[in-house]
């Protein structure tokens, strides 16, 4: 039996992930729970097709509760030092630290 690699599906899956992130951003203010669901779905598609999320996508949501991290709205950003910033998810209080790029 010949198995062809599903490149087409990968491309579609990647597009779906991006669409779900866009929807999550759109719905966030009005329907935060729906927004979380979109992030959850995007992550599930990524897992199923073994697709890594982009750096931008990874930083956009809380890995603990799938809430989008929007500064001043759902997240609190603090500059810890010249080298690191911390981002706190206001939905579940989880704190993430990232190297600070100026």
Question: Which residues of this protein are in contact with Zn ion, per CB under 5 A?
Answer: 62, 64-65, 67, 89, 91-92, 94
Report how far residue 47's alpha carbon sits from residue 30's, in angstroms, rounded to the nearest whole number. Answer: 28
Tell me the closest approach of the beta carbon of residue 69 to Zn ion, in angstroms.
Answer: 8
Tell me the closest approach of the beta carbon of residue 98 to Zn ion, in angstroms.
Answer: 15
Report the interhelical angle of 32-48 vs 7-27 (nearest 10°).
170
Report whether 39 contacts 20 (CB < 8 A).
yes
Complex with Zn ion: residue 20 or 36, whichever CB lies closer:
36
Q: What does the DSSP 8-state code read for residue 20?
A: H
Report how far residue 52's alpha carbon sits from residue 19's, in angstroms, rounded to the nearest whole number. Answer: 15
Tell me the closest approach of the beta carbon of residue 72 to Zn ion, in angstroms.
Answer: 16
């Amino acid at each position: 039996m010949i198995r062809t690699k599903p490149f087409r599906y990968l491309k579609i899956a990647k597009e779906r992930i991006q669409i779900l992130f866009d929807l999550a951003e759109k719905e966030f203010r009005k329907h935060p729970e729906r927004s979380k669901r979109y992030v959850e779905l995007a992550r599930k598609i990524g897992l199923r097709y073994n697709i890594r999320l982009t750096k931008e996508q990874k930083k956009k949501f809380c890995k603990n509760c799938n809430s989008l991290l929007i500064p001043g709205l759902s997240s609190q950003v603090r500059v810890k030092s010249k080298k690191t910033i911390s981002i706190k998810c206001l939905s579940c209080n989880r704190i993430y630290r990232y190297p600070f790029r100026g």
